[in-house]
Amino acid sequence: MLEINFIRANKSRVIQGLKVKNFSEEDLKLVEGVLALDDARKEVQTNLDNLLAERNQLSKSIGSLMKEGKKDEAEAMRERVARLKEESTRLEDTLRDTKARLEEQLIKIPNIPHESVPPGATPEDNEVYKAWGEPLPELGAGALPHWELAQKYGVFDLELGVKLTGSGFPVYRGKGAKLERALISFFLDEAIAAGFEEIIPPLMVNEDTARATGQLPDKEGQMYYVERDNLYLIPTAEVPVTNIYRDVILDEGRLPIKMTGYTPCFRREAGSYGAHVRGLNRVHQFDKVEIVVLDHPDRSYETLRQMLAHVSGLLDKLELPYRILRLCGGDMSFTSALTFDFEVFSAAQKRWLEVSSVSNFETFQSNRMKLRFRDGKGTRLVHTLNGSALALARVVAALLENNQTPEGIVIPKVLRNYTGFELLN
RNA sequence: GGAGGAGUGGCAGAGCGGUUGAUUGCACCGGUCUUGAAAACCGGCGUACCGAGAGGUACCGGGGGUUCGAAUCCCUCCUCCUCCGCCA
């Protein structure tokens, strides 16, 4: 959520930014609407505050009059306060209502894109930030897509997942399970070596937590929900990990705070079938190592660059061909100011698969989360950033396909200490 | 799950219907003293909103209520502690 004061002070910049996110003229009226509602809010609040001030003063007088035994005067005053109360009750209702409407409108305004975000509406308009220079890997005749390789070598079993749970819940087996665990350990160890604190968070969160990172109220349909306990299964570790610092005021010297966490991620991904979602391309449960950074506004874009370098390093070490995209206004998430996607090339599918998304949210999340730091003069919102480092399922898909040989799947050197085998067959 | 107790500022801990946004101690920041430090002493020290400012308003786990007035009374939810039960 944007700060209302920011919108007020930077109205034209906000409108310009919304245009990059392809807001229509009609939608742009939200900005004026929000400012008008805030004006109304201020007015009501001022009136209410004045009324309450009067009430407080009268109540105090009643107290001293009672002590002095002047019952009649006190009684008269009591009646006046009673009338004030009627009006203040009315104003309180108006204030509550105005605030609710303001919030409802404000929550519809997405984050303002960073100046480097290219215009555009669809993924085709994303800018290739770093291309894969060398020729793309070519597989010989008879090369198989990962879902067939999985069957051949018993890496994972989606049909079995259907039996146990439903579609999109893979069951990893044998060396496939070991490979999964190896990747998780490798990613975590790399993050820890880069100075991130490892977190193992809860996999279910309450409403407040889901709201603070922006999953609610908008995207509840994307999360699994346990109605009986009013809990949500996390769609990413970002949610519980970032919320560790909800309602916290940090000392400036504590920034940056760097955290990493492995969790399974649960996404409902309402129905879509076809070749592009086969196998591990899109599933309801997948493993991911996430990195989260809370940083000073002056430094956050340098931090974002470092996070890109970290993720690049992982893919380099796995020897997977990848490219980095700078997302265009139309393809960015609601909450992000700047997002880079990492895609690995799936040689058998001849497609790029998204394996990471690294974003700077600036103050969009921290505002809703009331996550601030003290800078000597007062408090300021911190910048929050996060990225996948990395999402497992599609990395596994690409590894299986790109590394297939007649003898089996060749495990990247960097993983062999973790898997204990060089060949998955 | 059952029975009892408790939730107050960074921490500890008063207050239990009226000038208390909250005594006090510790921590922290500034000053005096000192060659420097410690000690001692003096001052400061929550957050948010409105306001140019003076100042005002709200917040004592969350929400609701009683009252002229609530940290203090009532209801409800949440959390923690003790005991019992169950359990990886």
pLDDT in tens, A274-322: 667 788 888 999 999 999 999 999 999 999 999 999 999 999 999 999 9
The distance from CA A253 to its chain's CA centroid, rounded to whole angstroms, is 25
Contacts for A277-281: CB closer than 8 Å, 24+ residues apart: A278/A145, A278/A147, A279/A145, A279/A146, A279/A147, A279/A150, A279/A158, A279/A397, A280/A146, A280/A147, A280/A150, A280/A156, A280/A170, A280/A393, A280/A394, A280/A396, A280/A397, A281/A349, A281/A353, A281/A393, A281/A394, A281/A397
**At A3, is the pLDDT very low, low, confident or very high (cuts 50, 70, 90)?**
very high
Mean pLDDT, rounded, for A315-341: 95
Across A80-84, A138-142, A328-332, the highest mean pLDDT is recorded for A328-332
Bridge partners, A251 (sequence order)? A374
- DSSP secondary structure of A75-102: HHHHHHHHHHHHHHHHHHHHHHHHHHHH
Q: Which of residues 240-279 of A touch strand B (CB under 7 A)?
A: 249
CA of A46 to C1' of B66 (A): 27
Round and report the angstrom distance from CA (A207) to C1' (B62): 13
> What pLDDT score was predicted for residue A267?
92
Tokens of A70: 């002047």
Q: Let me know: does A283 contact A166? Beta carbons within 8 Å.
A: no
ipTM score assigned to the predicted complex: 0.87
Confidence (pLDDT) at A275 = 65
Q: What single-letter DSSP state applies at residue A30? A: H
Q: Beta carbon of A62 within 7 Å of strand B? A: yes
Could you tell me the domains of chain A? 4-106 (1.10.287.40), 123-424 (3.30.930.10)
pLDDT at A295: 95
- Per-residue pLDDT at A271: 55
> In terms of pTM, does the model score above 0.95?
no
How far apart (Å, rounded) are the C-alpha atoms in residues A302 and A256? 11
Chain B: positions less than 7 Å from a protein CB are 18-19, 47-51, 56-58, 68-69
A53 beta carbon < 7 A from strand B?
A: yes
Buried b (16+ CB within 10 A) or exposed e, A8-26: eeeeeebbebbbbbebeee
Count other C-beta atoms under 10 Å from residue A132's C-beta: 17
More confident residue, A338 or A69: A338
Q: What is the pLDDT of residues A170-220, one digit of tens each?
A: 999 999 999 999 999 999 999 999 999 999 999 999 988 998 888 887 777
Residue A357 annotated among the catalytic residues of the structure: yes
Q: Which helix (H) or strand (E) holds A381?
A: strand A379-381
Structure confidence by residue, pLDDT tens digits, A361-388? 999 999 999 999 988 778 999 999 999 9
Q: Which one has a higher pLDDT value, A258 or A133?
A: A258
Catalytic annotation on A282? yes
Asked whether A169 and A231 are in contact (CB, 8 A), the reply is: no
Structure tokens at A74: 């006190």
SS3 A325: strand
Q: Which residues, in sequence order, are CB contacts of A416 under 8 Å at separation 6+?
A: A422
Any residues with CB less than 8 A from the CB of A51 and at least 6 apart, and which?
A84, A87, A88, A91
What was the pLDDT predicted at A292? Answer: 97
Give residue-wise pLDDT tens across range A31-81: 999 999 999 999 999 999 999 999 998 888 888 777 777 777 777 888 888
Nearest-angstrom CA–CA distance, A273 and A279: 11
Say which nucleotide is closest to residue A77, CA to C1' distance.
Answer: B68
Query: In the predicted model, is pLDDT for residue A88 greater than 60?
Result: yes
Radius of gyration of chain A (CA): 27
Mean confidence (pLDDT) of chain A: 91
**Partners of residue A295 on adjacent β-strands:** A383
User: Quick check: A78 CB within 7 A of strand B?
Assistant: yes
**DSSP assigned state of A124:** G
